[in-house]
Chains A and B, each alone.
Chain A
């Protein structure tokens, strides 16, 4: 017989959830407790297990759709067609299916119109589940219908059931779903991969069946999965979903750089406790120095920008305070202090944020550093930055000033201990020698991994960078 699984309240008093992903499709065989759908509530993302054995008859809500608790989301034809499942004696709770048992109990408590008891097979979506107590078993569970229990009041007619069901008809012919299952099907070969690798694959959205293993006995390794994730960096675009209110919103598939950025940001923000410090600096002398450098023949064919001197200042300060140029090794419970500087520069590109780095920036002369920065920016703008160019960074600068803002609280590039945001340079009233003057002023913001860098070290580093930009001669003194 056909049973409908209603969206339960999985989090103590929730009223709705979004269908994130269906794990089954119509026609699939399902077993009791098999997870069939992933939903997101206000509290969490969870998978829901189906309470019956059977065959999926219909999915009654689309991915991305928000469904009220208590509405049916999936219909399953259970094993015994036409007869009550379980084969237990009729009328006893023993063999009754879960939903039925609850309903039976609920029936004792809530009077209902006689017609509503039996649900027509296949008629999902049509009977609006008014008047029914939802299968929420904590005290403040919701009852959708009004409880008319006073003897004198005649039971009110059920609130006019809306003609249009809130849920679209079963999307049997949904092209996206058909397509997704269409290609990775060929002969299910057993995939060899350790559980952590499987987890990694799941996280990166890699289908293990499509990966060739290079490990022992053809097993798939972490590296295989990562490599596969790289090549599928652009997953197939998901066909448009059910249209939202015309033109009011737009759904942009999360893929490629955006997806990597999101993962890196979340990973970084949740792994390293961030602290951000700010410093306003009079950079008039730096701007003068930039102008003078531009005039020098050595810099004739490279771009000289304030960023160049900020970069040099960061490299110099990192050499003075090596601990800022380090990373946290969770596995080994060690801090890895780098005695070289691979200077990352966050770059906005048409594909999104990338952070390539200048390798061994501490060994470069100023013209060489200028050339490297120029090439790196050009490559990034053209969208040609290679993974190797983004790997192995030790500290990063993000030049938010180019967008005309003063400061931000940057998130660490994963695996690094510090990142400096360089704000815009603008004319500001500034006190110089006791007199008010108009000076070129910028704001520096330094975020650091508080596991490694204490406030003192962070402040020293930031102060040094500021001091060098205030008086570029200090770069010479400290180099």
Chain B
């Protein structure tokens, strides 16, 4: 077959799905998962609470309390499913939208808000949670993550690295370089691409001519497309990929096929570039509704459970709001604190100068 003849002749993309949008459990030959009712309820709880956190943050931004916010609306299952696949020893590298993964890593949600409220530069200790700080620059964390994974490899540790990025980031040089490094060094890493169909206003078809997961084979490692709105499938696929990484089988690219139901950030207006019918179609594939339907159909949860969870979500939101507003402004001199790990004479001098300058004002 000539190159011309093979163009576009690939088989249609395959999607790993274990739970349909209607809440029906389906089987997959390569991926399976056995969840207790308790575990399903717990996954559902995470999905609901994370959405609540997200909505609260959007509201806070709309009230002028946050400078900006990147909503995860619609991507909860991709994040909770993959986040819950991590073990304590694994390390995760987020973009700026992984609020659900942060939740799985026990990062207090209010700490996520500090950066966006402009009162700190990060908010949590990455080592304490094995969850790196948010990275705003598109795709650069993939290189950090591969470096970290190569460290794990050299320490001979039983851990893996999970790095998040979006469909737009796959066009970045950093991401492609990280694929090469990971492949050549057989690094214990899982690349988790949340393909939410839009890189701000740029649609997927302007990023790629083939399904993203198929790019992996060109770099020499497996790629798989999973229904990113199916928390069961995301959990199963990520677990398997992380386990492969931990056992020396090298990297995997997971393309979580999902949809950004909100704006890129609160500064963006998606109605200017995408059609409403697209959003409507994806609403029918909502990641939370299908788990709810599953719980209902199989009588794994009663109305009391859902009511209690709704109340918990409301409470979580209200607490988050209160604690966000109570966050203190940073002190001007704090800016010198984390420049160097050890004391540094030049920084000390600059700090003293700035302190003297601040003293020059009337109280």
Say yes or no: A49-B64 contact (C-beta < 8 A), given A44-B263, A93-B325, A151-B362: no
Contact B276–A203 (Cβ < 8 Å):
yes
B276 touches A105 (CB 8 A): no
Residues of B in contact with A, size category: 35 or more
Q: Does B132 contact A (CB under 8 A)?
A: no
Q: Quick one: which of B56, B318, B321, B362 has the most chain A CB within 10 A?
A: B362
Binds A, one of B21-29, B266-274, B340-348: B266-274
Interface centre among B68, B117, B267, B276 (most CB of A within 10 A): B267
Q: In the complex, A136 Cα to B361 Cα: how many Å?
A: 24
> Known: A195-B283, A196-B280. Contact between A46 and B62, CB under 8 A?
yes
Does chain B have a CB within 8 A of A137?
A: yes
Q: CB-CB < 8 A to A271: which residues of B?
A: 275
Asked if B13 CB lies within 8 Å of chain A CBs, one says no
A43 touching B275 in the complex, CB below 8 Å, given contacts A195-B283, A199-B280: no
Cβ-defined contact, B269 with A137, below 8 A? no
Point out the residue from B66, B266, B328, B361 that lies within 8 Å of A137, measured CB to CB.
B66
Are A270 and B118 in contact (CB-based, < 8 A)?
no
Contacts of B277 in A (CB 8 A): 330
The answer to whether B267 and A11 have CB atoms under 8 Å apart is yes
Residues of B close to A49: CB separation below 8 A: 59, 62-63
Contact among B56, B62, B67, B273 with A12 in the assembled complex (CB-CB below 8 Å): B67
Complex formed: what's the CA distance from A271 to B328 in Å? 47
Question: How long is the Cα–Cα vector from A476 to B280 in the complex, in angstroms?
Answer: 49
A283 within 8 A of B: no
Judged by a CB distance under 8 angstroms, whether A89 is at the interface is no
Nearest opposing residue in chain B for A45, CB measure: B269
Stretch from A94-102, A118-126, A160-168, A338-346 at the B interface = A94-102
Segment of A2-10, A206-214, A304-312, A350-358 engaged in the interface with chain B: A2-10
Report the bound CA distance from A138 to B118 in whole Å: 6
**Known contacts A49-B62, A137-B65; A111/B283 CB under 8 A:** no
A47 within 8 A of B: yes
Q: Determine which of B117, B267, B360 lies in contact with A151 in the assembled complex, contact meaning CB atoms within 8 Å.
A: B360
A residues near B117, Cβ cutoff 8 Å = 137
Q: Does A48 belong to the interface (CB within 8 Å)?
A: yes
Q: Is the CB of B68 within 8 A of A12?
A: yes
Contact among B67, B119, B325 for A136, CB-based, below 8 A: B67
Does B11 touch A at the CB level, under 8 Å?
no
A45 lies within 8 A of B67 (CB): no
Residues on A with beta carbons closer than 8 Å to the beta carbon of B283? 195-196
> Is there a chain A Cβ closer than 8 Å to B34's Cβ?
no
Within B3-30, the residues touching A (CB, 8 Å) are none
**Contact call A135/B65, Cβ cutoff below 8 A:** yes
**Least Cβ–Cβ distance between B347 and chain A, in angstroms:** 21
Q: Given A94-B326, A199-B276, A271-B275, check contact A151 B361 (CB 8 Å).
A: yes
Which residues of B56-75 have CB atoms within 8 Å of chain A's CB atoms?
A: 56, 59, 61-68
B297 at the interface (CB under 8 A from A): no
B307 within 8 A of A: no
Q: Is the CB of B67 within 8 A of A109?
A: no
Across-interface contacts of A134 in B (CB, < 8 A): 64
Measured CB to CB, the closest approach of chain A to B358, in angstroms, equals 10
Taking a contact as CB atoms under 8 Å apart, the answer to whether B63 and A98 are in contact is yes
Residues B245-276 near A (CB distance < 8 A): 263, 266-269, 271-276
CB distance from B20 to the nearest CB of A (A): 18
Is A44 a contact partner of B275 (Cβ separation < 8 A)? no
Q: Contact: B326 with A102, CB < 8 Å?
A: no
Query: Across the interface, which residues of B come within 8 angstroms of A139, CB to CB?
Result: 118
Q: How far is the CA of A32 from the CA of B63 in the complex (A)?
A: 11
The answer on a CB contact under 8 Å between A8 and B64 is yes
> Does A51 lie at the interface of the complex (its beta carbon under 8 Å from any beta carbon of B)?
yes
CA distance in complex: A115, B198 (Å): 51
* Distance of B207 from chain A, by nearest CB (Å): 16
A interface secondary structure, majority: loop
A149 adjacent to B362 (CB under 8 Å): yes
A108 at the interface (CB under 8 A from B): yes
Residue of B nearest to A88 (CB): B322
Is B329 an interface position by the 8 A CB rule? Answer: yes
Contact residues in B for A150 (Cβ distance below 8 Å): 360-361
B167 CB to closest chain A CB, in angstroms?
A: 19
Q: Does A184 touch B at the CB level, under 8 Å?
A: no
A404 adjacent to chain B (CB < 8 Å): no
Q: Does B362 contact A111, Cβ atoms closer than 8 Å?
A: yes
Q: 1/0 contact trace for B323-350 toward A, CB 8 Å?
A: 0011011000000000000000000000
Residues of B within 8 A of A241 (CB): none
Whether A138 contacts B325 by the Cβ 8 Å rule is no
In the complex where A109-B329, A150-B361 touch, is A102 in contact with B276 (Cβ < 8 A)? Answer: no
| From A47, A94, A270, contact of B62 by CB (8 A) | A47
Which residue of B61, B65, B68, B271 contacts A102 across the interface (Cβ within 8 Å)?
B65
Q: If A11-B266, A195-B283, A267-B275 touch, does A48 touch B62 (CB 8 Å cutoff)?
A: yes
Q: Is the CB of A108 within 8 A of B329?
A: yes
- Which residues of chain B are near A320, meaning CB under 8 Å? none
Check B275 against A98 for contact (C-beta < 8 Å): no
In this complex, what residue of B is CB-closest to A98?
B325
User: Nearest chain-A residue to B332 (Cβ)?
Assistant: A109
Q: Are A8 and B63 in contact (CB under 8 A)?
A: yes
Q: Map CB proximity to A onto B31-73 as digits: 1 under 8 Å, 0 otherwise.
A: 0000000000000000000000001100101111111100000
Does A33 make an interface contact (CB < 8 A)? Answer: yes
Known contacts A11-B266, A12-B267, A111-B362, A137 near B67 by CB under 8 Å = yes
B325–A43 touching, CB < 8 Å? no
Given contacts A10-B62, A10-B64, A11-B267, contact A101 B276 (CB under 8 A): no
With A and B bound together, what is the CA distance between A330 and B61 in angstroms? 35
Q: Give the shortest distance, in Å, between A201 (CB) and chain B (any CB).
A: 12
Q: Are A44 and B267 in contact (CB under 8 A)?
A: yes
Cα–Cα distance between A199 and B61 once the two chains are bound (Å): 24
Chain A nearest CB from B22 CB (Å) reads: 14
CB distance from A163 to the nearest CB of B (A): 28
Please measure, in the bound complex, the distance between the C-alpha atom of A96 and the C-alpha atom of B327, giving whole angstroms.
12
- Complex Cα spacing A247 to B328, Å: 51
Assess the A10–B266 pair: CB atoms within 8 A.
Answer: yes
Contact assessment for B68 and A44 in the assembled complex, using a CB-CB cutoff below 8 Å: no
Q: B132 to nearest A CB, angstroms?
A: 23
Q: A10-B64, A12-B67, A139-B118 are in contact. Are A101 and B325 (CB under 8 A)?
A: yes
User: Which residues of chain A are near B266, meaning CB under 8 Å?
Assistant: 10-11, 46
Alpha-carbon distance A151/B63, docked complex (angstroms): 35
Contacts of A108 in B (CB 8 A): 329
A83 to nearest B CB, angstroms?
Answer: 18
Instruction: Please name the residue on chain B nearest to A150 by beta carbon.
Output: B361
**Residues A9 and B362 in contact in the complex (CB < 8 Å), given A101-B326, A102-B325:** no
| Residue of A33, A50, A108, A203 with most chain B CB atoms under a 10 A cut-off | A33
A-B contact pairs, 25 of them (CB 8 A): A6-B64, A8-B65, A12-B67, A33-B55, A48-B62, A50-B63, A51-B63, A51-B65, A51-B321, A93-B325, A94-B326, A98-B325, A101-B326, A102-B64, A137-B64, A137-B65, A137-B67, A137-B117, A149-B362, A150-B361, A151-B361, A196-B280, A196-B283, A270-B274, A330-B277
Given A48-B62, A49-B59, A151-B360; 11 other pairs, CB 8 A cutoff:
A43-B268, A43-B269, A45-B269, A51-B59, A93-B326, A101-B326, A105-B329, A137-B66, A196-B284, A267-B275, A270-B273
